[in-house]
């Protein structure tokens, strides 16, 4: 009797387990703006494979590359509401949605990429993750995005005066409009996918980005002047939709978290290599790269932007200070 009961219980348990196993298996859709072979793409694909393997198929993620699932601001909204499950987002277009992340779009906030890593990998990075989680996004690790510089079809930029009158594409965030305005240029917010055509047809004169994006997007074929201003160093997250995250068991959350951390390690390593290779590739293709001798002039031009920002967001001033004080 005792044996029979426990056998029945065991069978019922197994059936339940099998059922739970099937019911819990989910397909995840992931957004990625970059093409095949880009460091972020390789890292996102590694993440997807590791999650599928370690959860034994309970989570089955697919990464959609090249921004085919939509422009970044839309993809952020879709991930927030759970229509997409995971993504690699730049904090630039995040600012209009999650106000605290605007701090990361302040020009010349970080002294270097190393400074940015130190900040984002520590307690301050956690504060940004907390802010994102209030908006439906679970940030599990931080990718590198190098530093962004201006490029254009007309001339080398050496001083802020050289930006005057140029139509410059920016990412979707009013801070970048203010940034280009402060240099006397005309800012045009535009989706990444439209920039190449707009450069070619003269709708815009220039844009700004890191070497790998300048190269992989083919913008360098149209814009022959790349001027190293290093005005923005913006981290990127590997983010999971909170709706998708909350459905996971603690064990599967741990698997996903670890896979995201490893993906960031891979991304950062590949990033360093790709930055170098991309610079070489664009120079070989005839792009004229110039170092901006006096970056202080560009920094000084950003002072009013900081003042307005702090006036409008007094609560974020301590965060800016904490970043500046991180050494
Ligand atoms: C890239 C970044 C993308 C996107 C793009 C842009 O460097 O990785 O997520 O933000 O810039 O300029 O829109």
Same domain for 205 and 59, yes or no, is no
Same domain for 152 and 113, yes or no, is no
Q: Is residue 116 part of a domain?
A: yes
CA angle (259 as vertex; 76, 146 as ends), nearest 5: 60
DSSP-derived pairing of the beta strands 86-90 and 236-241: antiparallel
Same domain for 315 and 222, yes or no, is yes
Same domain for 164 and 240, yes or no, is no
Q: How far apart are CA 67 and CA 65, in angstroms?
A: 6
| CB atoms inside a 10 Å sphere around CB 20 | 12
**Which ligand 1 atom is nearest residue 212's CA?**
7
pLDDT by residue for the chain (327 residues), tens only, comes to: 344 444 444 444 444 444 444 456 999 999 999 999 999 999 999 999 999 999 999 999 999 999 999 999 999 999 999 999 999 999 999 999 999 999 999 999 999 999 999 999 999 999 999 999 999 999 999 999 999 999 999 999 999 999 999 999 999 999 999 999 999 999 999 999 999 999 999 999 999 999 999 999 999 999 999 999 999 999 999 999 999 999 999 999 999 999 999 999 999 999 999 999 999 999 999 999 999 999 999 999 999 999 999 999 999 999 999 999 999
Strand spans (E) along 136-184? 137-143, 148-152, 167-170
Q: What is the pLDDT of residue 24?
A: 65
Same domain for 65 and 203, yes or no, is no
**Which DSSP string do the residues of 276-294 spell out, in sequence order?**
HHHHHHHHHTT-EEEE-S-
Polymer length of the chain: 327
Residues 192/211, Cβ–Cβ less than 8 Å: no
Distance from the alpha carbon of residue 9 to the mean position of ligand 1, in angstroms = 55
Q: What is the pLDDT of residue 300?
A: 98
Same domain for 271 and 122, yes or no, is yes
Residues 239/256, Cβ–Cβ less than 8 Å: no
DSSP-derived pairing of the beta strands 86-90 and 225-232: unpaired
Q: How far apart are CA 99 and CA 104, in angstroms?
A: 10
| CB atoms inside a 10 Å sphere around CB 317 | 14
Same domain for 207 and 317, yes or no, is yes
Q: How far apart are CA 147 and CA 41, in angstroms?
A: 19
pTM of the model: 0.92
| CB atoms inside a 10 Å sphere around CB 229 | 25
Helix (H), strand (E) at residue 75 = helix 72-80
Short-list 166, 168, 124, 73, CA closest to 322: 124
Q: Is residue 155 part of a domain?
A: yes
Q: Is residue 82 part of a domain?
A: yes
Cβ of residue 105 lying under 6 Å from some atom of ligand 1:
no
Distance from the alpha carbon of residue 90 to the mean position of ligand 1, in angstroms = 6
Short-list 88, 105, 99, CA closest to 38: 88
Q: Is residue 18 part of a domain?
A: no
Same domain for 165 and 136, yes or no, is no
Same domain for 239 and 227, yes or no, is no
Token pair, residue 238, equals 């590997």
Same domain for 211 and 192, yes or no, is yes
Domain ranges, residue 117? 23-145+235-276
Cβ of residue 44 lying under 6 Å from some atom of ligand 1:
no
Same domain for 193 and 120, yes or no, is no
Distance from the alpha carbon of residue 132 to the mean position of ligand 1, in angstroms = 19
Cβ of residue 192 lying under 6 Å from some atom of ligand 1:
yes
**Which ligand 1 atom is nearest residue 40's CA?**
8
Q: Could you give the number of structural domains in the chain?
A: 2
Cβ of residue 149 lying under 6 Å from some atom of ligand 1:
no
The contacts of residue 8 (CB under 8 Å, 6+ apart) are none
Q: How far apart are CA 263 and CA 325, in angstroms?
A: 28
Cβ of residue 278 lying under 6 Å from some atom of ligand 1:
no
Helix, coil or strand: residue 218: coil
Same domain for 58 and 190, yes or no, is no
Give the domain CATH number at 70. Answer: 3.40.190.170
Cβ of residue 209 lying under 6 Å from some atom of ligand 1:
yes
């Amino acid at each position: 009797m005792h044996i029979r009961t426990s056998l029945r219980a065991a069978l019922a348990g197994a059936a339940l387990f099998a059922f739970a196993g099937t019911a819990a298996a989910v397909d995840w859709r992931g957004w990625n703006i970059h093409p095949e072979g880009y460091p972020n793409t390789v890292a996102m694909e590694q993440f997807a494979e590791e999650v599928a393997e370690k959860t034994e198929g309970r989570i089955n993620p697919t990464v959609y590359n090249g921004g085919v699932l939509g422009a970044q601001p839309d993809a952020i909204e879709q991930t927030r509401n759970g229509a997409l499950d995971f993504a690699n987002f730049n904090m630039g277009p995040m600012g209009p949605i999650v106000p605290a992340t605007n701090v990361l779009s302040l020009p010349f906030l970080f002294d270097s990429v190393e400074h940015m890593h130190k900040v984002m990998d520590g307690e301050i990075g956690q504060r940004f993750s907390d802010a994102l989680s209030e908006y439906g996004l679970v940030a599990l690790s931080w990718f590198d995005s190098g530093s962004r510089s201006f490029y254009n079809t007309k001339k080398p930029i050496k001083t802020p005066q050289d930006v005057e009158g140029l139509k410059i594409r920016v990412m979707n965030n009013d801070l970048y409009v203010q940034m280009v305005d402060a240099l006397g240029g005309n800012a045009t917010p535009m989706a990444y996918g439209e920039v190449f055509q707009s450069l070619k047809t003269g709708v815009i004169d220039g844009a700004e980005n890191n070497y790998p994006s300048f190269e992989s997007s083919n913008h360098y074929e149209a814009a022959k002047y790349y001027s190293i201003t290093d005005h923005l160093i913006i981290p990127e997250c590997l983010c999971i939709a909170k709706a998708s995250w909350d459905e996971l068991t603690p064990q599967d959350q741990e698997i996903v978290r670890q896979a995201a951390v490893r993906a960031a390690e891979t991304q950062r390593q590949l990033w360093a290599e790709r930055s170098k290779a991309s610079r070489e590739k664009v120079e070989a293709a005839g792009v004229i790269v110039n170092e901006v001798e006096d970056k202080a002039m560009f920094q000084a031009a950003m002072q009013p932007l900081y003042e307005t920002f702090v006036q409008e967001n007094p609560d974020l001033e301590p965060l800016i200070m904490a970043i500046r004080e991180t050494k």
